[in-house]
């Protein structure tokens, strides 16, 4: 299964997202969608599962609570906007041990909020933050993530949307 991962769009869908997500089976949005228009455009690409971020009052009925545990092709996945954002930078190995205690024992953790991309395995858990994909050109370089899920294994990558041709 191929999964597109996006976060922190803040009401803006980067024009390269449809091309980069072409052929994905599902899209996960790690919060701060920022409005119905972005959510609807993503649905034209593939089915979307998202969690509420701090900018998502308008979409509350369409997004899962933050955090949410979902099954992604048989892989228990923790999808969150802010749950681990600050803890990540203060000791990811310790935090990986703490996440194991979460109900459902997730193997894949997808988060947003920091605007900083992460694609890394730590102590048997795979963490992915697709980075910032919003409208502010002075923010981090815009990016998204792609996950490849094969036979219970997870691999992921960050794709920069800056200067793509």
Could you tell me the residue ranges of all domains in the chain? 2-160
What's the CA gap between 58 and 48, in Å, rounded? 16
Instruction: Please write the tens of the pLDDT for every residue from 37-82.
Output: 999 999 999 999 999 998 888 887 889 988 899 999 999 999 999 8
Of residues 43, 105, 102, 109, the one with CA closest to residue 82: 109
Instruction: Please write the tens of the pLDDT for every residue from 86-106.
Output: 555 556 666 666 666 666 678
- This prediction has a pTM of 0.89
Q: Place domain 2-160 in its CATH homologous superfamily.
A: Metallo-dependent phosphatases (3.60.21.10)
Query: Kind of pairing, strands 26-29 and 48-50?
Result: parallel
The stretch 16-30 carries a mean pLDDT of 97
Instruction: Please write the tens of the pLDDT for every residue from 108-152.
Output: 999 999 888 999 998 888 999 999 998 887 777 899 999 999 999
Residues linked to residue 109 through DSSP beta bridges, in sequence order = 78, 127
Do 114 and 133 contact (CB within 8 A), yes or no? no
> Is residue 12 pLDDT above 60, yes or no?
yes
Tokens 């920022």 belong to 34
Question: Angle 121-122-126 (CA atoms, 0-180°, nearest 5)?
Answer: 40
What's the CA gap between 89 and 159, in Å, rounded? 21
Q: 61: how many CB neighbours lie within 10 A of its CB?
A: 6
């Amino acid at each position: 299964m191929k999964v597109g991962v996006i976060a922190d769009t803040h009401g803006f869908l980067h024009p390269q997202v449809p091309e980069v997500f072409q052929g994905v089976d599902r899209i996960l949005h790690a919060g701060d969608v920022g409005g119905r228009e972005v959510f609807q455009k993503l649905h034209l690409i593939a089915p979307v599962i998202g969690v509420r971020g701090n900018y998502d009052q308008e979409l509350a009925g369409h997004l899962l609570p933050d955090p949410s545990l979902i099954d992604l092709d048989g892989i228990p996945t923790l999808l969150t906007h802010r749950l681990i954002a600050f803890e990540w930078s203060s000791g990811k190995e310790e935090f990986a041990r703490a996440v194991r205690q979460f109900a459902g024992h997730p193997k894949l953790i997808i988060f947003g909020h920091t605007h900083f991309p992460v694609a890394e395995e730590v102590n048997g858990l795979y963490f992915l933050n697709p980075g910032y994909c919003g409208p502010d050109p002075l923010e981090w370089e815009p990016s998204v993530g792609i996950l490849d899920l094969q036979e219970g294994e997870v691999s992921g990558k960050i794709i920069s949307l800056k200067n793509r041709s």
